[in-house]
Structure 1
Amino acid sequence: MRATHKTAPRITVSTQWRVDFLAALAETSNVTAAAAAAAIHPSRAYKAKRTESDFARLWRDALCEGYDNLEMELLHRLRFGEGKELVAKFDNANALRLLTQHRETVARQRAIRENADIADVRASIHAKLLDMRDKVLAHRKADHLASDPDALHG
């Protein structure tokens, strides 16, 4: 009898670049920088975005996360200033320009997410209502059978 060993799922090169790209895109909000982090040409990412709907959705989610991060970082810097120990200067004006430029895209993606959440909630409520209705009908039938002895014999 041969022992079987369970192994972790293999991440292929074609899958790994996507993981790296999306993580870097969420961190940087920059397609070129994300492609460099994933060791691919940006055109490869754009092609995957055009041809793979799941990847396109994950791309939009990563950008939303990136813009949320940028917004929070900018807000922190505007409230508390920049420390003198920073090696790289943060470009507040460019950050504001990026946030303004992509505000509609991020708002649209958030709305899509919220609508999906609302649809899930509605579906859950509907399922619970159907379950409650079935229980009420079963209870009524049981009450009817208990109160009408002739109903038991057909």
Structure 2
Amino acid sequence: MAAIRKSRRLSARWSKVREQAFLEHLALSSNVAASERVAKLTPGTAYRQRRASPDFARAWDVALREGYGRLEEAMLDRAINGIPVTITMKDGTKKDTVEFPERTQMLLYNAHRATVLGPAANGESARERLARRIAEVSRKLGHDG
């Protein structure tokens, strides 16, 4: 593999260009290892830089929060709007439908329950509230439920 060009090699050398590439990808992906690869850094280089530079550590945290925000938005969109799915029937015909990922709905609901409901969260159980809400959405969409 001596034919690999020098520009493709990974490096432990830190630079502002690599830092920017790392932080931009981290904000998009929330994935440190992938962000190191995009910035052409050897594994662990970003962690070492984070320990050495409080400014970079703060920028890392901001980028990671942005990445998690994007992830949560995508999950919320799927939970609310569903995921388009094509089902192939036994006779070969295809049926387009929308699935609503209940596990994702539960995770998001539980993550935000206390913030949204506060003290009112005590009556009906979370499972009962979620089942009722899913049934309401299903009825609105014309599903049997």
TM-score by length of 1: 0.46
Decide which structure has greater strand share: 2
TM-score by length of 2: 0.49
Decide which structure has greater helix share: 1
